Amino acid sequence: METLWAAAAPLTARGVQDALAARDLATTTVLTVLGRLERKGLVTREREGRAHRYRSVASREDHVAELMRDALDAAPDPGAVLARFLGSIPADERAALRDLLD
């Protein structure tokens, strides 16, 4: 996902593989992971010639916000979770959150 989020345009599996060159992954491995991400609804693909181009469905920020929402929904006491969370973040982030809420 990091590779797709960082890309300026949709990538082919080969483009993803090239971006992850330090990991020395096989094309089949990259295609398997992209297929799983597509089934989970995290990426979409568009045919271009014989290949497909993959792109993320949502931004990194949207994805993280959804994860946070899922965590709160799973908590028996969301208010307590929020209180713990707010107590764990730096003062500047709490101030930014106050500004957003206002």
Boundaries of domain holding 93 = 60-101
Contacts of 11 (CB under 8 A, 6+ apart): 3, 4, 19, 53, 54, 55
Same domain flag for 10 and 49: yes
pTM summary value:
0.79
pLDDT-based confidence at 23, cuts 50/70/90?
confident
Q: How many domains does the chain have?
A: 2
Same domain for 44 and 78: no
Per-residue model confidence as pLDDT tens digits over 34-73: 999 999 999 999 999 999 999 999 999 999 999 999 999 9
pLDDT band at 22 (very low <50, low <70, confident <90, very high): confident
Task: Judge if 7 and 49 occupy the same domain.
Answer: yes
What CATH number did the domain enclosing 32 receive?
1.10.10.10
**9 and 48, same domain (yes or no):** yes
